[in-house]
Structure 1
Amino acid sequence: MQQRQRNQRGAGSHLRTELIQAAMRILDRAPAAELSLRMVAREAGVAAPSVYSQFADAKTLLAEIVRECWSQLGDAMAETAQAAPADDAYAQLRSAMAAYVRYAMERPSRYQLLYALQPVETGQFPDLPGLLQPAYRNVLAKLQQLSAEGVALPARDAESATLLIISLTHGRIALAHLAPHRAGNSAAGVEAFVLDALGRLFAR
C-alpha cells in the first residue's frame, strides 16, 4: 500500500476510480470471494469510511468491477482485431478471440467474476447481464461481415454462431482454470485450442 494524497473537494469521481483500480489489483492477486471494502481501502491508502462514501457495500463495488472488466475485455478484443487486415473478417475474428483467451488466462479472478454473478445479485443490478455486450458485439460484427461475404457460418445465423464461439471458448478457459498445471492448459495451449477450433468451424 502506498501513501495517497488527499483528493481535493469535489474529486469524488477520482476517488471512485482509484478504489476500482485498487480492487482490480487485489483481484489480480486473490479470488473475488476474498475481496472486501476494508481490503480495498488498505490497497488504495484511504480510510474505510472513504470507501463507504462511494460504495454502499461490497456487492455494489463488485457490480462496478464487473462493468469495468467487461469493458476491458471488449476493448482488448476490438484493439487486437483492428491490428488484423481490414479486409479479412476471419483474421479479425481470430485476433479478437485470441485476445479474449489472453485476458481470461492472464486475469483469472477478473474473468471468473464475470461469469459468477451470484455474489453481485443480478436482481439488484438488472443491467449487469447485458454488460457482456462489449465482448458479444465484437464477435457478432465479424460473423455478420463473414455472412455478408457469403461465408458459411457454423450455426443457423450470426447470433447463434456468436453464442457457439463464445461458449466454446469459455468452456475451454473454464477447464484450464480448474486444472492450470495440466498439459495444454497454459494460456498458449488454450489459445491454440480455440484458434484450431475456429479453423475447423470455418473449414480453414
Structure 2
Amino acid sequence: MKKVAVILSGCGVFDGSEIHEATSTLIALSMRGIEAQCFAPDIPQYHVINHLTGEEMQEDRNVLVESARIARGDIKEIGEFSAETFDAVIFPGGFGVAKNLSTLAFDGAACEVNEDIRKVILWMVQLEKPIGALCISPAMIAKVLPQADVTIGNDPDTVKMIEEMEGVHHRTDNCEVIIDAKYRLVTSPCYMLNASIAEVFQGALNMVDEIIQLWNE
C-alpha cells in the first residue's frame, strides 16, 4: 500500500488548515486505497480567530495540538517525517499555511517558510516523489521551488506574488489541476476560487489521481 504524508497547519480556515480541504484529501486517499499519515509542526499558532465573528481571540494555541483535531489524534510532529518512508506528500490549504507554516500572509513574496516544512519539500524533490498542494499552499511551494508551475486559480494579487517569487502561475477553474513534471508537483485551487464543497472534494480527488499517474510513469 502506498503511503502519503498530509501536512496540516492547525484547524480552521482563518488560522489553520482548511478543514474541508484537509478532510477531502484524506477521503480521496482512502477511496484510492492509499494510507495517510498526518503531520504538523509543534509550534505556537500565530493567532486564534473566532470563526463565528472573524475577530482575533486573546488566547494561545499550538499548531500540532490543533491539527490533531482533524487527524482524530493520529498525528506526528513534522520532525518525525522521513521522505524515505512516504510515496508522496500533500499540503491542504487554509490561512495556517500562510501564517503558521510560512510568513506568506504578512511578508508576501519576501516570506520565509518554516525550516522543517522547507526540508520536507526539498527532500521529496530530491527523491523524485510527488508533492500535492491545494488552495494557497502552491504559493508557499513556489517560494521553495524556483520557477515551479502552480495554480491558485485566478486571484490577481496572489498570482502577482507567485510571479514575484519567480513561480509560473497557470489560471484554472474549479477542480482543475496543474502538473509540474520537473518537480512532480500537482496543484489545484479549491477554495481560492468560489468553489462548492463538492468541487473542493473533486479537486482534491483529481490531485490524488494525478499523483497516482505520476507513480505509474
Instruction: Place the TM-score, normalised by the shorter chain, in its bin.
Output: 0.3 to 0.5
Which structure's residues are more often helix, by fraction?
A: 1
Q: Which has the larger radius of gyration?
A: 1
Structure 1 length as normaliser, TM-score?
0.36
Structure 2 length as normaliser, TM-score?
0.35
Which structure's residues are more often strand, by fraction?
A: 2
